[in-house]
Amino acid sequence: MRETKRRMELFSSYDRRGMELHMERMAAEGWLIEEISTFTWKYRRIEPKKLHFCVTFHPDASEFEPEPSENELEFEEFCRHTGWVLAMKRASMLVFYNERENPTPIETEPEVEIDAIHTGMVKTVLVPYLVLAVMALVAGGVCLFFILQNPAVQLANAGAAASVLEMGALLLLCMVEIGGYYLWRFRARRAAVHGEFLESGRWATLFQRILVIFVILVFAGMLVSLAVQSGSAAARVLLTTLVYAVGAVLINGVRNALRKRKASPGVNKVVSFLVGFLFLFTLLMVVNIGMMVLNDTVFADSDEESYEYEGNTFTAYHDELPLTLEELLGIPSDGYSMRRWYEGSFLVQRSEMSQYPRFDAEDFREMPDMSYTVTHISVPALYGICREDLLNDAQNTVSDGEVIYRDFYEPVDPVPWGAKEAYRRYHLESYTNQYLLFYSDRIIEIRFSWEPDEQQMQTAAEKLLAGQ
Amino acid sequence: MNLYLYIQKGVTPMPRAKFQTLTEQMFYILLCLKEECYGMDILDRVPAMTENRVSVGSGTLYNLLEQFLNEGFIRETKVEGRRRSYILTEKGREILKKEYDRICAQAVDYRRIFGEEEGQ
């Protein structure tokens, strides 16, 4: 029979009443709380009994202090005198239990309780949440900045799109924890004037659970999206996440071990930080190098081949394409490298495809080629910024108010393309054979090495729209 | 008083200045310290003094003793290990007397409204 067990529990940091009721239920089932660590709560087996719990704070208590301070021990003695026994502590949060039937609560004055909680909350919860909020804001802001720079490409990056959502959820979580606590404090002080206690925010726990489920779903969605495109990208994200999770557990372990060995708080903080930093740095390096090896072996594209030309090694691809030169010009695909590259999120999906002659083909310089990208926008609200992004891909270079380098898209007749809008790119001194085509939910960029006729335009559009 | 003031200007919704009036628990804690007393013993003395009508929580007592010390209402007299004893100061006696006068004034007002007999 197991003597201990660990469970993942999710509670808002200031939902003390929710935690107390949960611990009471666990004690009635024969499990007494023993430790709260980074990801789990640890319980030890006891005789099932009715226990009362109290979650409170002491400003001296810390995760880095090797021994409890005299003040803290005095506080514990006061509590013991009225039957309250310390079950566990984490940072400045202390959990007591009491076996008496109707014990005197640890806190009997609401105003005093609110002040005592506040000191502990600021140190243990609010400051870390504030730091986390700033980190989420910076990380999410950087991702958002890059997405806004090049939305058509970046929104198709499952990792980038999921990062913004996850950082946004994390920021929201921090704001709800901090804001929710201050709102509770405001209401609790108002109730305290009338000598009343106000229960802590149970709704915040519910909100936190919903957000965590949302984050897990987004993460799972990102993994599935990546796995569909490339097992390598999914494996990298999974391994990196694992490294961070193990790093968090390791830092916690080092901190606890040093505290047990009576290391000073300063030494403990520095060593825990250094161990965590070195571990993450080394392991992330190992993951990156490992992924490079795996990419060349396990995740290598089976449809590619290497060939030699004038002493150099090149790669030829044999991917299936929705539109080929054979369909437009009747040229067989022999002697060509045909490549398809796909990237997509639940917002935008992008397929980049090309058909280029191999260098070892006879007269490869005379052989026609083409390349095209199809961007499918799943969320109509994002169509506008993707359209602007792709149109702005061509931009004149202006110096002293004078255009010195002409590069722009000019509207052309969309009818041959069956599109809503069509543009042709003008580059330097002449029109190129590069077109930008807008359809209801997708945008096609297509480039030919020759000037296509109307029949070829129509065939290309039909094939590309049918091929998605 | 509204939430806006609280957040924007740090104005708290507590109209009562600290220790301008005493709560029942504050009153009895100070009363216990008329004579030198270990902090922890107050936990038993208050219920005994009030025939179990009033109890003080251990956390509340611990925090209030610290606040009374900071305000100069009590002073530390002895430290034996972690057991510390305290006694009321002149300032503490004054604040206790002020609270007593307030309670008496309330009693006088009550009697004036309801009459002497009913007040007894």
- Residue pair A328/A359 in contact by the 8 Å Cβ criterion: no
* Range A330-354 average pLDDT: 88
* Range B66-79 average pLDDT: 94
| Every domain of chain A and the residues it spans | 4-98, 107-229, 232-299, 304-466
User: Is the residue at B1 inside a domain?
Assistant: no
- Residue pair A439/A465 in contact by the 8 Å Cβ criterion: yes
pLDDT on residue B81: 82
Predicted model pTM:
0.73
Write out residues 7-26 of B within 8 Å (CB-CB) of A.
7, 12-16, 23, 25-26
User: Between A403 and A247, whose confidence is greater?
Assistant: A247
User: Between A225 and A329, whose confidence is greater?
Assistant: A329
Write out residues 59-98 of A within 8 Å (CB-CB) of B.
70, 73-75, 77-79, 81-82, 84
**Mutation choice for B interface testing from A55, A60, A77, A108 by most B CBs within 10 A:** A108
pLDDT on residue B10: 46
Residue of B nearest to A193 (CA): B14
- Residue pair A159/A237 in contact by the 8 Å Cβ criterion: yes
Non-local (6+) Cβ contacts of A75 within 8 A are: A58, B58, B59, B62
Least confident of A104-113, A215-224, A391-400, B5-14: B5-14
pLDDT on residue A300: 64
Chain A positions touching B64 (Cβ under 8 A) are 109, 112
Please list the residues that pair with B84 across neighbouring strands.
Answer: B79
Judge whether residue A266 has pLDDT over 90. Answer: no
Distance between CA atoms of residues A222 and A162, nearest Å: 6
Band (B8; pLDDT cuts 50, 70, 90): very low
pLDDT on residue A226: 72
pLDDT on residue A172: 87
For residue A387, give the nearest of A343, A362, A422, A432 by alpha carbon: A422
Give residue A279's Cα distance to chain centre: 21
Chain B positions touching A179 (Cβ under 8 A) are none
Q: Do B23 and A109 touch (CB under 8 A)?
A: yes
Band (B9; pLDDT cuts 50, 70, 90): very low
Domain with B59 in it: what CATH number? 1.10.10.10
- Residue pair A153/A373 in contact by the 8 Å Cβ criterion: no
* Range A238-256 average pLDDT: 84
| Degrees, nearest 5: CA angle A66-A69-A74 | 140
Place of tokens 């722009």: A408
Q: pLDDT digits over A409-436, tens only? A: 999 999 999 999 999 999 888 899 999 9
Residue of B nearest to A74 (CA): B82
- Residue pair B59/A106 in contact by the 8 Å Cβ criterion: yes
DSSP class of B17 = P
Please, what's the b/e burial string for A282-313 (b: 16 or more CB within 10 A of its CB; e: otherwise)? ebeeebeeebeebbeeebeeeeeeeeeeeeee
User: Is the residue at B50 inside a domain?
Assistant: yes
Q: How many CA atoms lie within 13 A of B54 on its CB side?
A: 18
Q: Most confidently modeled of A14-23, A292-301, B13-22?
A: A14-23
User: Is the residue at B10 inside a domain?
Assistant: no
pLDDT on residue B1: 42
Q: A398: burial class by Cβ within 10 Å (0-12, 13-18, 19+)?
A: exposed
Distance between CA atoms of residues B109 and B96, nearest Å: 20
Reported as type and span, the H/E element at residue A462 is: helix A454-466
pLDDT on residue A85: 96
Q: Most confidently modeled of A90-104, A169-183, A240-254, A277-291?
A: A90-104
Q: Measure in Å the smallest separation between the Cα of B62 and chain A Cα atoms.
A: 7
Distance between CA atoms of residues A122 and A127, nearest Å: 6
User: Between A401 and A51, whose confidence is greater?
Assistant: A51
User: Is the residue at B73 inside a domain?
Assistant: yes
* Range B87-108 average pLDDT: 95
* Range A3-9 average pLDDT: 92
Least confident of A155-159, A336-340, B52-56, B93-97: A155-159
Q: pLDDT digits over A38-59, tens only? A: 788 999 999 999 999 999 988 8
- Residue pair A431/A442 in contact by the 8 Å Cβ criterion: no
User: Is the residue at B28 inside a domain?
Assistant: yes
Query: Which bin fits A91, alpha (ψ -120 to 50), beta or left (φ > 0)?
Result: left
Helix (H, G, I), strand (E, B) or coil at A86: strand
Distance between CA atoms of residues A189 and B13, nearest Å: 6
pLDDT on residue A405: 79
Please list the residues that pair with A94 across neighbouring strands.
Answer: A56, A89
Band (A467; pLDDT cuts 50, 70, 90): low
| Degrees, nearest 5: CA angle B11-B27-A61 | 60
Judge whether residue A178 has pLDDT over 50. Answer: yes
According to DSSP, the β-strands at A312-317 and A407-412 are: unpaired
pLDDT on residue B41: 93
Q: How many residues does chain A have?
A: 468
User: Is the residue at B3 inside a domain?
Assistant: no
pLDDT on residue A261: 87
pLDDT on residue B16: 55
Strand-by-strand arrangement of the A84-90 sheet: A52-57, A93-98, A84-90
ipTM over 0.85: no
Mean pLDDT score of chain A? 87
pLDDT on residue A347: 85
Which pair of tokens denotes residue A45?
Answer: 């087996």
Non-local (6+) Cβ contacts of A170 within 8 A are: A132, A133, A136, A140, A215
Please list the residues that pair with A90 across neighbouring strands.
Answer: A93
Q: How many domains does chain B have?
A: 1
Share of chain A above pLDDT 90, in %: 40
Q: Which domain holds residue B51?
A: 19-114
- Residue pair A23/A16 in contact by the 8 Å Cβ criterion: no
Q: Most confidently modeled of A154-163, A259-268, B82-91?
A: B82-91
Judge whether residue A369 has pLDDT over 80. Answer: yes
Q: A113 and chain B: CB distance < 8 Å anywhere?
A: yes
* Range A279-294 average pLDDT: 83
Residue B96 has a CB neighbour count (10 Å cut-off) of: 19
User: Is the residue at B11 inside a domain?
Assistant: no
Write out residues 136-195 of A within 8 Å (CB-CB) of B.
182-183, 186, 189-190, 192-193, 195
User: Is the residue at B110 inside a domain?
Assistant: yes
Judge whether residue A268 has pLDDT over 90. Answer: no
Band (B30; pLDDT cuts 50, 70, 90): very high
| Degrees, nearest 5: CA angle B41-B43-B44 | 70
pLDDT on residue B116: 64
* Range A330-359 average pLDDT: 89
pLDDT on residue B44: 94
Distance between CA atoms of residues A199 and A220, nearest Å: 35
pLDDT on residue A229: 64
Greatest CA span in chain B, whole angstroms?
A: 54
pLDDT on residue B118: 55
- How many beta-carbon pairs under 8 angstroms link A with B? 81
Helix (H, G, I), strand (E, B) or coil at A5: strand
